[in-house]
Amino acid sequence: MALNRVLKYFMLMMGGVILWFSCAHDFSSDFEGEVDEALVDSGSSWLSEESCKKKEDLVKKEYFWCKYFPSLCKKNEASTSGSSCVATESVLHSTHYCKLDERGNPASQDYIHINGGDTLSGITGGCVLRPIKEVWAVLLNFGVMKPEAIHHFQPVERKDLENFARRIFYVVDVRNTVGSFIGDVKWDVRYYYTVSHGSYSSPKQIVINFQKIWGSSFIEYIRGGYILDYVSPQVTSFVMTQAIKATQYDAGHLRKDLSGDFAKARTQAPNWKNLPTESPAAELDFSNIPN
200 and 83 share a domain? no
Are residue 150 and residue 266 in the same domain, yes or no? yes
Does some domain include residue 279? no
Domain end residue (candidates: 91, 114, 148): 91
Is 290 within a domain?
no
Tell me, yes or no, whether 86 and 145 share the same domain. Answer: no
**Into how many domains does the chain fold?**
2
Any domain includes 9: no
262: Cα within 13 Å, side-chain hemisphere:
23
Domain annotation covers residue 231: yes
Residue 283 buriedness (CB in 10 A; 0-12 / 13-18 / 19+): exposed
The reply to whether 285 falls in a domain is no
Under 8 Å between Cβ of 243 and 230: no
Contact (CB, 8 A) for 221 and 212: yes
Could you list the pLDDT tens digit for every one of the 291 residues in the chain? 444 443 344 444 444 444 444 456 888 988 989 999 999 999 875 555 455 445 444 444 333 334 433 333 333 333 333 334 444 444 667 899 999 887 888 999 999 999 999 999 999 999 999 999 999 999 999 999 999 889 999 999 999 999 999 999 999 999 999 987 778 999 999 999 999 988 899 898 999 999 999 999 999 999 999 999 999 999 999 999 999 999 989 999 999 999 999 999 999 999 999 999 989 999 999 999 986
Same domain, 62 and 163: no
Domain that holds residue 214: 24-43+102-274
Q: Are residues 154 and 252 in the same domain?
A: yes
Q: Is residue 268 in some structural domain?
A: yes
Contact 42, 237 (CB under 8 A): yes
Helices (H), the chain: 2-22, 49-53, 56-59, 132-139, 142-145, 251-267
Asked if 257 and 201 sit in the same domain, the reply is: yes
